[in-house]
Amino acid sequence: MAHDHARFTRLLAATVALACAALAWADSIVLRSSVRLAENETVVRLRDVAYLDGDAAVRLGGTELADLAAGGSQRASLEISIDEIRSKLLAASSSANLIDLSGRTVLVRSAKAGKPVAMKGLAVDPNAAPAIAPAAGSNTAVAAADSRIEFLAEEATDLTTPRGLIAEVLRNAFAKRGARLRLAITGTDDRFLDQRAAGFRFEAFPLTSLTADLVRIRVLVRDGDRVVSRTDLAIQPSLEATVATATSSLRRGASLGNAIDVHTEWVKPSEFDAIVPVGAINQGVATTQIAKGERLTSDAVRKPVQIKRNDKVTIRRELGTVAIELVAIAEEDGAVGDLIRFRAVDRKDRRDQRVFFAEVLGSGRAVIREAASTLAAGGDS
């Protein structure tokens, strides 16, 4: 029996590890802001309105999202939300929920609509002279690596230029973070990024994950269906974040108190999610030694422990409008807001050793808010 249990445990751990690995390498779909369908096309498919990164995403490229001619009359344009697209993808494949889908909405125009498609960078200045150097054969031009151009993505609003296209793609990719985005592009110059050429259009295709610390994007220049040139660019995105750094060396277990400096920094995407929320710092405790000037991260700070293991705690149980109190022994440490295990102490029946979970309210106090949070194990602990 014990052997079977150990085997099951190993199998479960392996399954969880594989699932986590799959999520870590999830493909991505990033919506464009607007697109124009080809001549005589009315059906809108996923590959028409999004950048697809990864095999799973590409396999869903043919998923039909809408039809401009539905109902017998053709519409000039249609706006599709990310929720509508997610619903269509889940209906097409149950594995679609493993794909990272980002963006808000996409505006789809028919080929007969009056305005040019901004997302594809169609030129609107008839006097602009083409600044495109055609690539020989099918070679891809890689811009020189000796220059670096930085700008805020929110300020690059001209979608008829390579700069605006790149900024729009990355704004959509980082939309969930809710932070200002700065881009540093190496290997090009302002002339290339801001060019508009009559009769040409620009397209930006990601070559790597769009939320990485280093993103590679290929800019295509097209004359009709012919590719005039290809240029690969390296882009370093950074996000504006409120961070805290230690103003003095802090030992493990020390209260942070006033020994921190809160300010704004531009951080890498991989660092953004690890930044500890400023609201949790004032009452926080260091979980490891922190050097002077070191940035505080979520794994280096925890809330102070209010209940320690083996503490006798008064627990309030709420059942609708009725509340009762009981005494229990804490099975583990916990801070305010933590859900921890307790062992029942029944004065009438000392054999009653039920284990249940309750939320820590403060020193010596906890609460069971829902019946679903009660029994967690039998009484053999």
Per-residue pLDDT reduced to its tens digit, 69-110: 887 778 888 899 988 998 999 898 888 888 878 778 888 888
Equal fold, 241-302 vs 305-377: no
Of 37-46, 132-141, 326-335, the poorest mean pLDDT is in 132-141
Question: Which residue would you say has higher pLDDT here, 366 or 285?
Answer: 366
Contact between residue 233 and residue 185 where contact means Cβ atoms under 8 Å apart = yes
Residue (of 66, 59, 60, 53) closest to 25 by Cα position: 53
What pLDDT is attached to residue 266?
94
Q: Which residue has the tokens 């779909």?
A: 29
What pLDDT is attached to residue 27?
73
* Highest mean pLDDT: which range of 1-15, 133-147, 246-260, 274-288: 246-260
Q: Which residue has the tokens 């396999």?
A: 59
Residue (of 54, 46, 87, 106) closest to 210 by Cα position: 54
Q: What is the mean pLDDT of residues 370-378?
A: 46
Cβ neighbours of 289 (radius 10 Å): 13
Quick one: pLDDT band at residue 117, thresholds 50, 70, 90? very low
pLDDT tens track for 304-353: 778 889 999 988 887 777 778 888 999 998 877 788 899 887 656 566 67
What pLDDT is attached to residue 167?
94
Ordered by start, the domain boundaries in the chain are: 28-109, 141-239, 241-302, 305-377
**Average pLDDT along the chain:** 76
Q: What stretches of 47-147 adopt beta strand conformation (E)?
A: 50-53, 64-67, 77-81, 100-102, 105-109, 141-142
Structural tokens at position 261:
């400096």
Q: What is the mean pLDDT of residues 198-204?
A: 84
The CATH number of the domain covering residues in 305-377 = 2.30.30.760
What pLDDT is attached to residue 297?
76
Q: In what order do the strands lie in the sheet with 105-109?
A: 34-36, 105-109, 77-81
Contact between residue 235 and residue 147 where contact means Cβ atoms under 8 Å apart = no
pTM over 0.85: no
Report the CATH fold assignment for 241-302: Type Iii Antifreeze Protein Isoform Hplc 12 (3.90.1210)
114 vs 136: CA distance, rounded Å? 34
What pLDDT is attached to residue 291?
83
